[in-house]
Amino acid sequence: MKARLPKGYSNGGNTNIQQLARQAQKMQEEMDAASKELDEKEYSATAGGGAVTAVVKGSLEIKSLEISKDVVDPEDIDMLSDLVIAAVNEAIRNARDEKAETMDKISGGLNVPGLF
């Protein structure tokens, strides 16, 4: 009994695998380029109605943190701490969301472990 290959795979199986490998390599190169670009991009977020502004890079490093003098109260350091945390976390979330969305567009939703 002879095994049957799906339509389009006869005598060209190696070619299809090579083509798939080239497409995967191209996708990886596009994702690497996009990742580098996004790592340098800046994302900002505010908390407390603009009392605290955090700016992070796409590489998730804090670039700057601005705190309004009006919100600095030596008697309420906990509130200031909460505002800083909220602003930084929101900026990081913005960076992660854009990176995930960009990579999804490039990969077409394909999730191959180790590819990116």
pTM strictly above 0.85 = no
Mean pLDDT by 10 residues, the chain (116 residues): 58 72 88 91 95 95 95 92 96 94 83 56
Our CA angle for 105, 64, 90, nearest 5°, is 45
Three-class SS state of 55? strand
Q: Which pLDDT belongs to residue 57?
A: 95
**67 contacts 93 by C-beta, under 8 angstroms:** no
- Ordered by where they begin, the domains of the chain are 13-107 (3.30.1310.10)
Residue 17 Cα distances to 6, 22, 28, angstroms = 14, 9, 16
